[in-house]
């Protein structure tokens, strides 16, 4: 059964208890803002809600915000462009690994870009889910067992990677900040058990 009732406060209590020195490097959620757009085909043509986490360029070279949102429980990245009629349209973000020049993520996402491995993508997504919770989102954020497992496993590691990278000169814009042992972090951990208590 998927865990339920995991809140922003739950995550804060856990992080401050288990990895406070790393967690404190994450900026306050006020560093990011939620954007609302009316886009045909999204959210029944009502306000389309997303979190602004960086900047990029459209196909025509115009600046645009990098947006993150949830489609069910899946994280999506993209930007708002326009179709031939001049209407707003959601465009998927080009793969960061294939295009390192057009996407600029805000801190701390610039330190854990989803570029090289499943581990890095999972860490990037865990930080995103944390900020979704911080902004008051609940549905789809962490309400499935596999999502919960990945979040509990990767969020502490993402915080540690961010803290370590923030304490040193920033590497190349898309260089990894993960050790070779990152892919071997176990999903079922003591932290997982502790976080499971919040859903009971």
Q: What is the DSSP string of 15-64?
A: HHHH-HHHHTTSPPGGGS-EEEEE-TTSGGGSEEEEEEEEEEE-TTS-EE
Place of tokens 């976080």: 195
pLDDT for 47: 64
Q: Of 172 and 153, which is predicted with more confidence? A: 153
pLDDT digits (tens, 9 = 90+) for 45-63: 556 789 999 999 888 888 9
Residue 19 has pLDDT above 80, yes or no: yes
* Largest Cα span, the chain: 54
pLDDT digits (tens, 9 = 90+) for 141-150: 988 888 999 9
**Phi, psi (rounded to 5 degrees) for 17:** -85, -40
Place of tokens 């502790």: 194
CA angle 45, 49, 51 (to 5 degrees): 155
Mean pLDDT of the chain: 78
Residue 180 has pLDDT above 70, yes or no: no
pLDDT for 99: 53
Question: What does the pLDDT average to over 162-179?
Answer: 62
Residue 183 has pLDDT above 90, yes or no: no
pLDDT for 85: 80
> Global pTM?
0.80
Q: For the residues of the chain, what is the DSSP string, one character each?
A: -------HHHHHHHHHHH-HHHHTTSPPGGGS-EEEEE-TTSGGGSEEEEEEEEEEE-TTS-EEEEEEEEETTEEEEEEEEE-TTS-EEEEEPPPTTT--SS-EEPTTGGGS-S-S-HHHHHHHHHHHHHHHHHTT--TTTS-SHHHHHHHHHHHHHHHHHHHHHHTS---STT-----TTGGG--SS-HHHHHHHGGG-
Residue 191 has pLDDT above 80, yes or no: no
Question: What does the pLDDT average to over 16-32?
Answer: 95
Q: Of 152 and 118, which is predicted with more confidence? A: 152
Provide the token pair at 131.
Answer: 């900020």
Residue 40 has pLDDT above 50, yes or no: yes
């Amino acid at each position: 059964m998927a865990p339920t009732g995991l809140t922003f406060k739950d995550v804060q209590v856990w992080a401050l208890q288990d990895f406070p020195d790393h967690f404190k490097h994450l900026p306050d959620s006020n560093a990011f803002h939620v954007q609302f757009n009316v886009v045909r085909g999204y959210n029944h043509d009502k306000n389309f809600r997303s979190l602004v986490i960086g900047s990029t360029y459209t196909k025509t070279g115009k600046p645009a915000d990098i947006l993150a949102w949830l489609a069910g429980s899946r994280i999506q990245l993209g930007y708002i462009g326009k179709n031939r009629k001049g209407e707003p349209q959601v465009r998927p973000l080009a793969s960061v690994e294939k295009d390192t020049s057009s996407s600029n993520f805000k801190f701390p996402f610039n330190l854990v870009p989803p570029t090289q491995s499943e581990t890095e993508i999972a860490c990037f997504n865990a930080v995103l889910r944390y900020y979704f919770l911080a902004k008051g989102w609940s549905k789809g954020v962490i309400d499935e067992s596999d999502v919960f497992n990945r979040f509990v496993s990767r969020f502490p590691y993402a915080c540690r990677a961010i803290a370590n990278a923030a304490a040193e000169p920033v590497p190349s814009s898309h260089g990894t900040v993960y050790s070779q042992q990152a892919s071997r972090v176990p999903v079922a951990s003591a932290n997982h058990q502790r976080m499971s208590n919040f859903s009971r």
